[in-house]
């Protein structure tokens, strides 16, 4: 049984930072490509960052230079460090296994509860 549990969200002022965690069970994150997605009200879920099993990373243009995806293999946990947060980063954030294909990255598996990030003054 695969379970991905997100945590670390909260309310933060513009310019602030948060670190999201995704604790995995039923999979070994170092053997998988993993992604962080976000979904704001009225918008589609979008991929913001991904890390391959080999450790390569990719980011949406909107978060490049501000967000960093990483993993701790010993903890079997994926992280998203978010710096210089903007109001437009407000969304529910989810982690998920991904399949990386030419030109696109596709999530697979069920979605967890996510963690809410709200950036507001």
Q: What is the pLDDT of residue 69?
A: 98
Q: What is the pLDDT of residue 120?
A: 97
Closest residue by Cα to residue 10 from 108, 96, 89, 99 = 89
What residues of the chain score a pLDDT lower than 70? none
CA 107, CA 39: separation in Å to the nearest integer? 14
**Model confidence over 79-98: pLDDT tens digits?**
999 999 999 999 999 999 99
């Amino acid at each position: 049984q695969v379970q991905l549990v997100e945590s670390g969200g909260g309310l933060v002022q513009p310019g602030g930072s948060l670190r999201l965690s995704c604790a995995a069970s039923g999979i070994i994150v170092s053997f998988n490509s993993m992604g962080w997605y976000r979904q704001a009200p009225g918008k589609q879920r979008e991929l913001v960052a991904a890390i391959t099993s080999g450790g390569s990373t990719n980011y949406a243009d909107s978060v490049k230079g501000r967000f960093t995806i990483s993993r701790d293999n010993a903890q079997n946990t994926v992280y998203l460090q978010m710096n210089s947060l903007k109001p437009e980063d407000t969304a529910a954030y989810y982690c998920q296994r991904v399949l990386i294909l030419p030109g696109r990255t596709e999530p697979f598996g069920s979605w967890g509860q996510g963690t809410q990030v709200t950036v507001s003054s």
